[in-house]
A = this chain, B = another copy of it.
């Protein structure tokens, strides 16, 4: 389907969108608080309930992939259920109880009901001595064991007596839950947005990513776009691998992608590039962040992190980057009970939502133009695009943007190329191009000139 310039301008963000970010932030934060207590894991009821709640924001297509399904080098695991878990002292007092926090039980713990000395119990207890009040988050999906997580301060005061450890869990045939929402644009080419949804009772990692992703989908809903946008919610690692395996034949449609996570805390934005490091998504995301958001940082690719590891594996190799604030493992609250709703804020979520829309805008509007008056500068003054009195020291940013677009629009440079070279925000360059096209100084370049490898 042929794209017209008019369609592009639909997406260009306006002041209303910027103003909406605050309101969206509040709504995302409310959703995050609501989802926080759900007992999520890589399979099971808590995951399914989470997906159901997200489906109230935008329609979701849910796929249940049966346990035992082979997905590339992996097998979809049995489904895990957990009804109750606690450690009781000799006096029948519960010193650790699942009812206080989902984090207290090591994910995928085997069922157990055993009475042990403290020394015998000790290898099954996980704490964080360097943060004595926090409870760590631990899992053991593929090695059959059991364990509890608790604060080091509690552990330190446990008297040397016998304890009863009870985990009433079940592991059996079931399924892994995938969910996605497709926003159809003018083209079948897709922008993939992925957020992992398996972590229990951790706010920044990754209820923040879920909230931002589903609210982006809601904002795009019924708005015309150039690209189609596919939002995927799945458990980390096994979930993205399962989704890739189930959708391998359709991956070629993905032209750009973003993994969203840890977007609710106060740190500045960190964009981690794709495996290639210089795909259009890498350039667009980094340009938007560095020109419009303070202290943004660009991270080199590393085969460690979130699900970008799978999208960027050599046999998949999609142009997928990752947007976070202070990344996983670099803030002390990561994977602990301190990553709770108090650690994230509506403002941070709203700003992340806006940053993503600005990145989408750069993708949507990254086309090439031809300067129709390329010999010397055209006379902008008689077209109302230049101030009438000359001699001033400075040049306004909008006027400089007009000159950059004219100078570089020889068909070989797209608006993103120009914005990068000019060091000006993409939106300023795109607006200049719109103005110049309106007065007849630019026309869209033929597609074969603009269609570069994304």
Contacts and interface: CB of A to CB of B under 8 A. Distances in A.
Interface of A: 71-74, 106-107, 126, 136-143, 145, 147, 237, 240-241, 244-245, 248, 275, 302-304, 309-310, 312-316, 328-329, 334-335, 371, 373-379, 381-382, 388-395, 400, 403-404, 406-410
Contacts of A245: 375-376
Given A304-B395, A403-B304, A72 B140 contact: no
A379 B313 contact: no
A321 B450 CA distance: 29
B275 A141 contact: no
14 contacts: A72-B378, A107-B391, A137-B391, A138-B391, A145-B388, A147-B389, A248-B375, A309-B407, A310-B376, A313-B375, A313-B377, A314-B407, A315-B371, A315-B373
A139 B313 contact: no
How many protomers of this protein does the assembly include? Answer: 3
A109 to B, nearest CB: 11
Contact of A406 (B142, B147, B303): B303
Given A394-B329, A406-B303, A315 B374 contact: yes
Contacts of A328: 393
A395 to B, nearest CB: 5
A110 to B, nearest CB: 13
A216 B314 CA distance: 39
A22 to B, nearest CB: 32
A393 B73 contact: no
A141 B388 CA distance: 8
A218 B247 CA distance: 58
Given A304-B395, A410-B314, A375 B244 contact: yes
A394 B302 CA distance: 13
Contacts of A381: 142-143
B335 A377 contact: no
Given A142-B381, A376-B74, A314 B389 contact: no
A389 B329 contact: no
Contact of A393 (B334, B395, B404, B406): B334
Nearest to A400: B304
A65 B345 CA distance: 67
Contacts of A147: 389
Contacts of A388: 140, 142-143, 145
A310 B407 contact: no
Contacts of A136: 391
Given A140-B389, A304-B403, A407-B314, A376 B244 contact: yes
Contacts of A373: 72-73, 315
Nearest to A202: B391
Closest 4 CB pairs of A and B: A315-B374, A143-B388, A315-B375, A303-B403
